[in-house]
Amino acid sequence: MDGVSLLNFIDAPCLVGDPEGRVVYVNPAFGQRFPQDGSPVEGVELVSLFEGGGREAILNAVAAVCSGGQTARFRLREGEDGFLGLCSPIEAPGSGSDRVGVVILLVDEPVMDAKLQAVQREIEEPLDEGIAALEQLIDQTGGRRSDTFRGAVERGLAALTRAKKWNDELHAALAGRSGNAERDARLDPVRLVREVSGRVGEAARANGMPLDLLVPAQLPAARGDADVLEAALVRLIRLRLATGEPDTPLTLAARLMGAGTRPAVLITLVDHPRGAEDEADEREPKSLLDAVSPYGGRVHSVRIPKTGRATAVRLPLAEG
């Protein structure tokens, strides 16, 4: 195809696809950054060259370009590497069908953005822990007998709440959200729970509370911010590890629920604490609720006497 020789000299990964989403061409830079198994890639589906959330990003971009004819910008993460993507239509006037394919260019995401995102996630965890601790403290020590002390705690809680607000603003700015971001945000539930398990699995084993993972090979995409929900689930599991007893089993599961008009993905953390007769702590999953509620998700936490405790996150399926 015309222009392929020029694409060979571009240092950034570049690939060309037809309107059906099949690979027509990849440049040498793509082969270096996204090595395949050695088999030819021409004719295979574009999404098959990527993993997890990368597939969703490519699929959405190609669909947007082929349906609307406008250039689409997106973010893509593959392993430890982050990319900013540009997907543009290829047009051939007079061919009978003006739009004959797409060209996708991937450039490295600025390192500073990735570092800021990592720092923002690290800031979020102690903020949530501090707010939860003060909320518990003010419930247990407030009242008429300690007005001065209660006032100090309330001021501290207000300060942490303001800091969390600005941290949320930072997250929104780094994510480049627009007015429809909550509606359009998608995540891969299988990849999400595997990432969570990878982050906390070693700590769970070290605490004598191994984490079992029950997840199918594939689930449909759900609505939500993968980074925010992952951080919230990690915090919840770390809380379980800090307050649980050795030999307490933990299970993280994901499954598709509902076969009617409103199917959803259900992510559940189950543990079996001794003396589980107490009522569920409604404050415990607050960070989870904050993570999923903008996308229509729900959180429910229950204790079953002499059986255990479960925190369930219900995520609506993504459109399309």
Q: Which residues span the domain enclosing 230?
A: 182-320
- Spatial CA neighbour of 27 closest among 42, 45, 9: 9
Cα 108–Cα 110–Cα 113 angle in degrees, nearest 5: 135
Inter-helix orientation angle 52-68/189-206, to 10°: 160
* Claim to verify: residue 233 and residue 276 sit in the same structural domain: yes
Residues 46 and 164 in one domain: no
Task: Based on the fold, state whether residues 114 and 148 are members of the same structural domain.
Answer: yes
Q: Check pLDDT > 50 for residue 276.
A: no
Q: Which residues contact 103 (CB under 8 A, 6 or more apart)?
A: 14, 15, 16, 17, 87, 88, 90
Q: Tell me, yes or no, whether 62 and 152 share the same domain.
A: no
* Same-domain pairing of 104 and 115: no
Mean pLDDT lowest for which of 169-178, 216-225, 276-285, 288-297? 276-285
Confidence at residue 177, expressed as pLDDT on a 0 to 100 scale: 46
Find the CATH number of the domain harbouring 80. 3.30.450.20
Whether residue 192 is found in the same domain as residue 294: yes
Domain C-terminal end among 176, 206, 232: 176
- Same domain, yes or no, for 75 and 154? no
- In this predicted structure, the answer to whether residue 187 has a pLDDT above a threshold of 80 is yes
pLDDT band, very low/low/confident/very high, at 222 (cuts 50, 70, 90): very high
pLDDT in tens, 6-31: 777 788 899 999 888 889 889 888 98
User: Per residue in 162-181, pLDDT tens?
Assistant: 787 777 777 666 665 444 44
Q: Is the pLDDT of residue 273 over 50?
A: yes
Q: What is the mean pLDDT of residues 291-314?
A: 81
Digit-coded pLDDT (tens) for 132-168: 777 767 666 554 456 667 777 777 877 887 787 777 7
pLDDT higher than threshold 90 for residue 216: yes
The mean per-residue pLDDT over the stretch 279-302 comes to 73
Among 93, 109, 125, where does a domain finish?
109
Q: What is the pLDDT of residues 58-114, one digit of tens each?
A: 888 888 888 777 788 888 877 767 788 889 888 766 544 556 788 999 988 765 555
Task: Tell me: do 318 and 197 sit in the same domain.
Answer: yes
290 and 233 inside one domain: yes
154, 160, 99, 173: which is closest to 128 by C-alpha? 160
Question: Residue 190 belongs to a domain with what CATH number?
Answer: 3.30.565.10
Residues 136 and 190 in one domain: no
Question: Per the structure, how many domains does the chain have?
Answer: 3
Overall average pLDDT of the 203-231 stretch: 88
CB 22 within 8 A of CB 45: yes
Same domain, 301 and 215: yes
Q: Is there a single domain that holds both residue 124 and residue 257?
A: no
pTM: 0.47
Domain boundary, last residue among 157, 176, 195: 176
Pairing of strands 250-257, 211-214: parallel
Q: Are 208 and 246 in contact (CB under 8 A)?
A: yes
**Quick one: pLDDT at residue 254?**
94
